[in-house]
Amino acid sequence: MSVIPALEADVLRRQDPEVADILLGELARQATTLQLIAAENFTSPAVLAALGSPLANKYAEGYPGARHHGGCEIVDAAERLAVERARTLFGADHANVQAHSGSSAVLAAYAALLRPGDTVLALGLPYGGHLTHGSPANFSGRWFDFVGYGVDAETGLIDHEQVRTLARAHRPKAIVCGSIAYPRHLDYAFFRSVADDVGAYLIADAAHPIGLVAGGAAPSPVPYADVVCATTHKVLRGPRGGMILCAAELAGRVDRAVFPFTQGGAQMHTIAAKAVAFAEAATPAFGAYAHQVVANARVLAAQLAAEGLHVTTGGTDTHLITADPAPLGVDGRTARGRLAAAGIVLDCCALPHTDSRGLRLGTAAVTTQGMAQEEMQWIGVLFGKVLRGDLDAARARAEVRELAAASPPYPR
Ligand SMILES: Cc1ncc(COP(=O)(O)O)c(C=O)c1O
């Protein structure tokens, strides 16, 4: 099935060959290299079809049945469907599907619950917190007083004792749990108990694990958090965007925090694509996918450890792995460069309690391609060879090309 029908029909190529070449070039890059960026995935052709639809033309400020623009009857149906599907999928009282991104979702959660200057307790950025968890370069660090908790230097696990101590000392208005790099399940019941202890709201930023939650492969924050923020484009495999789940009592505050407080018109093509992705995520096939994502990450983490990398926390419960390549004599940035030359695409990340950078990778995209434990083991072995310099970049690149060709992300 073609994923770029307009290109196949030559519409874009005839009108704008420069852009057509860029689209096809990116399609080829994605199909011939390994996408191990933990936040990426391959959406289905149905999701791409909704994204490339005439719903992109529609202005729709407001919410279904209460829009500031005319002609919204059809797109209202798309948003109602997306909201209903999200509520059912996650067992939430209320869902807002308008957030343009994960960061917009977090901004809206803060806007719904906090006032500028309030104290917020969140995972510190050196330990895997997101920019929206108090970075001085982000609105969050500028407008709120963030206090950071960390992870244990030995185990790499969140230091629960420190979370409780800091909460009692600083009496935050909100506690945020969620990370860009933490590979283990979060204990949402623990965070709820600390929030109750100090009278704080609990905000779960589940941008990474929400797809695993949908597939039953990770615990859900919904029963514990006052507000759950998420992205729809990571393991969840939907379009690039955000989502907020909350209890009925907070529905009005959350909706007003999204529109009109932090956003204007909703992106109706993206909302329709979110509806498509939620329906896909409700199938048994997606449950099997989510469990395979975790099984793959576990095998890959074990093989990386066998190759000599230091795997943070000793493994993973999720799609996400962080590792230090230093035992192989390379730092994170050099390792990322060597792997990129071989066609293995991943990120660097902060390593807790060190000044050096590590590697952050995930198995969501390669699992969508149909790769399983055998391929993960092979990828781990290739990491070792490339990082030790046992295999030159050209040979490694050829091997990656062959592996990717055997499991194309968009089979024709
Ligand atoms: C925990 C967390 N929060 C927020 C975000 C922001 O999402 P976006 O890039 O869509 O703004 C991310 C993205 O990786 C994330 O991992």
Measured by CA distance, the residue closest to atom 7 of ligand 1 is 102
Q: What is the pLDDT of residues 70-115, one digit of tens each?
A: 999 999 999 999 999 999 999 999 999 999 999 999 999 999 999 9
At a CB cut-off of 8 Å and minimum separation 6, what does 279 contact? 85
Q: Examine the pLDDT at 6 and tell me if it is beyond 60.
A: no
Residue 225 counted as domain residue: yes
The percent of residues above 90 in pLDDT, for the chain, comes to 96
Residue 144 lies in a domain: yes
Q: How confident is the model at residue 8 (pLDDT cuts 50, 70, 90)?
A: low
Atom in ligand 1 nearest the alpha carbon of residue 205: 1
Protein residue closest via CA to atom 2 of ligand 1: 207
**How high does pLDDT run on average in the chain?**
96
Of 97, 132, 263, the one to substitute when testing ligand 1's pocket (max ligand atoms within 8 A of C-beta) is 132
- Which of 242, 258, 281 terminates a domain? The answer is 281
Q: Whose CA is closest to 214, among 86, 95, 106, 366? A: 86
Q: 412: pLDDT confidence band, cut at 50, 70 and 90?
A: confident
Q: Quick one: which atom of ligand 1 is closest to the CA of 233? A: 10
Residues 153, 289, single domain; the answer is no
Same domain, 275 and 289: no
Whether residue 16 lies inside any domain: the answer is no
What pLDDT is recorded for position 9? Answer: 64
Q: Is residue 49 part of a domain?
A: no
- How confident is the model over 111-144, as pLDDT tens digits? 999 999 999 999 999 999 999 999 999 999 999 9
Instruction: Characterize 90-109 residue by residue with b for buried, 16 or more Cβ atoms within 10 angstroms of its Cβ, and e for exposed.
Output: bebebbbbbbbbbbbbbbbb
DSSP SS3 for 183 = coil
Distance of CA 185 to the CA centre of its chain: 14
The 10s digit of each residue's pLDDT in 372-407 is 999 999 999 999 999 999 999 999 999 999 999 999
| Alpha carbon distance 336, 334 (integer Å) | 5
CA of 230 to the centre of ligand 1 (A): 8
Domain that holds residue 317: 284-406
Query: Does one domain contain both 269 and 320?
Result: no
* pLDDT band (50, 70, 90) for residue 10: confident
Does 44 map to a domain?
no
Which amino acid would we find at residue 98? Q
Listing DSSP states for 69-122 in one string gives SS--HHHHHHHHHHHHHHHHHHT-SEEE---SSHHHHHHHHHHHH--TT-EEEE
Asked if residue 318 is part of any domain, the answer here is yes
The count of structural domains within the chain is 2
How do residues 38-70 score in pLDDT, each as one tens digit? 999 999 999 999 999 999 999 999 999 999 999
Q: Is residue 86 assigned to a domain?
A: yes
125 annotated binding-site participant = yes
Same domain, 360 and 226: no
- Gap between the Cα atoms of 320 and 316, Å rounded: 7
Within this chain, do residues 255 and 298 fall inside the same structural domain, yes or no? no
Same-domain check for residues 265 and 351:
no
Same domain (yes/no): 290, 251: no
Co-location of 340 and 323 in the same domain: yes
* Residue 63 belongs to domain with CATH number: 3.40.640.10
Residues tagged active-site: 59, 61, 205, 231, 234, 240
